[in-house]
């Protein structure tokens, strides 16, 4: 039981780290998407992890017909909406997260998706196997 708890905690820490790196890169590279300071970055990464775990599956299920019609492109719109929701929730906690319009949110969500995919496949998966 304790080993399973450690595994879940490690998985959460890895996801939090991946989200933080992806958000940091998006804030650094996408004009119009800003996160000021490490505390805001870590807290926003945690909010983003919760949004992705709880709300994103529901949004993707509801948007499934549109995703099929657009050959998966609508998933990018869902990711953009989840990033905007994350920024809105972060604002409720007085975190310094700003998105200036749809294009900035779209480009940031696209970059976050690519970085998260790469880090999950090339870093997180080997780490999970190493700590089994």
101-to-10, 50, 117, 120 alpha-carbon distances in Å: 35, 23, 24, 28
Q: Which two tokens stand for residue 83?
A: 């990033």
The reported pLDDT for the residue numbered 5 is 65
Q: Does residue 81 carry a pLDDT above 80?
A: yes
Q: Which two tokens stand for residue 32?
A: 């119009």
**8 A C-beta contact, residue 10 and residue 132:** no
pLDDT digit string, tens, across residues 17-67: 999 999 999 999 999 999 999 999 999 999 999 999 899 989 989 998 999
Structure confidence at residue 13 (pLDDT): 86
With a CB cutoff of 8 Å and minimum separation 6, the contacts of 7 are: 131, 132
Identify the pLDDT of residue 1. 64
Query: pLDDT tens-digit profile of 105-128?
Result: 999 999 999 999 999 888 877 777
- pLDDT score recorded for residue 90: 96
Confidence (pLDDT) at 4: 65
Q: Which sequence spans correspond to the domains of the chain?
A: 2-130
The pair of three-digit structure tokens given for residue 35, joined into one six-digit string: 């996160």
Burial class (CB in 10 A: 0-12, 13-18, 19+), 103: middle
Query: Do the beta carbons of residue 25 and residue 111 sit within 8 Å?
Result: yes
Q: What are phi and psi of 94, to 5 degrees?
A: 60, 35
Residue given tokens 């998260």 in the structure block: 116
């Amino acid at each position: 039981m304790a080993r399973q708890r450690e595994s879940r905690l490690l998985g959460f820490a890895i996801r939090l780290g991946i989200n933080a790196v992806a958000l940091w890169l998006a804030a650094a590279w996408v004009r119009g998407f800003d996160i000021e300071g490490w505390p805001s970055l870590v807290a926003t990464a945690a909010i983003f992890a919760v949004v992705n775990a709880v709300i994103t599956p529901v949004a993707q299920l509801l948007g499934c017909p549109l995703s099929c019609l657009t050959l998966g492109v609508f998933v990018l719109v869902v990711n953009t909406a989840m990033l905007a929701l994350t920024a809105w929730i972060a604002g409720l906690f007085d975190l310094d997260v700003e998105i200036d319009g749809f294009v900035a949110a779209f480009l940031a969500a696209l970059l976050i998706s690519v970085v998260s995919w790469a880090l999950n496949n090339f870093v997180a998966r080997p780490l999970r196997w190493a700590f089994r």
